[in-house]
Amino acid sequence: MDGEAIKRLLEGSGLRCTAQRYAVMAFLVEHAGHPTAAEIFEAVNRLDPRSSRATTYNNLRDLVQAGLVREVAVEGRAARFDAKGMRHHHFICDRCGEVEDMEWCDVPRPGSGSLGKRVLRECEIIFRGLCAKCAPRHASRKVS
């Protein structure tokens, strides 16, 4: 995705394409590794320190509200973000908190009986366990 595409993405969602907001979105598009807000802030400021921490959080919130970015909460750790590209599920490592994408598959929808008055927007599967890096160390150590 090039710069123009990102600009169109933002403006198509009613968000102005400011330097700071563009930087956050572009970083997320290029880095699929589910960075935290702190990592995003540090990365976009490393070479071009023109965005404050508050703005990074503001823009992440705006992007999530616009539906361009997904926020993944992880028990006991900072939230992680990814650009909503292809649909996918998530694998969360019990040990290191790493979030990884898992191949998309359809999710069984709840019957309207069990849904009641709720309005469903999306369904996602969370797989939990040990990531490829942590799995080998598992045999001898209690998962903490």
Partner DNA sequence: CTCAAAACTTAGATTATGTCTAATTTGATA
Partner DNA sequence: TATCAAATTAGACATAATCTAAGTTTTGAG
19 binding DNA? (CB under 7 A): yes
For residue 39, state whether it binds a copy of itself (rule: CB under 8 A): no
Q: CB of 23: closest distance to DNA in angstroms?
A: 9
When asked if residue 26 is in the footprint of DNA (CB under 7 A), the reply is: no
Quick check: 135 binds a copy of itself (CB under 8 A)?
Answer: yes
Hey, how many other C-beta atoms are within 10 angstroms of the C-beta on 71? Answer: 14
1 interacts with a copy of itself by CB under 8 A: no
Task: Tell me how far apart the alpha carbons of residues 39 and 70 are, in angstroms, rounded to a whole number.
Answer: 16
79: contact with a copy of itself by CB under 8 A: yes
Only one residue has tokens 């903490």, namely 144
- Total Cβ atoms within 10 A of residue 130: 17
Kindly tell me which of 13 and 132 has the beta carbon lying closer to DNA: 13
Under 8 Å between Cβ of 27 and 44: yes
- Containing 63, the helix (H) or strand (E) segment is helix 53-65
**Does the protein bind DNA through residue 99 (CB under 7 A)?**
no
Hey, how many other C-beta atoms are within 10 angstroms of the C-beta on 113? 6
Should residue 36 be labelled a site residue for DNA when binding is judged by CB under 7 A?
yes
Among 47, 54, 86, 139, binds DNA (CB under 7 A): 54
94 CB neighbour count, 10 Å cutoff: 15
Task: For residue 127, state whether it binds a copy of itself (rule: CB under 8 A).
Answer: yes
The 3-state DSSP class for residue 13 equals: coil
The residues binding a copy of itself (CB under 8 A) are 71-76, 79, 91, 94, 100, 102-103, 105-108, 110-111, 114, 116-132, 135-136, 138
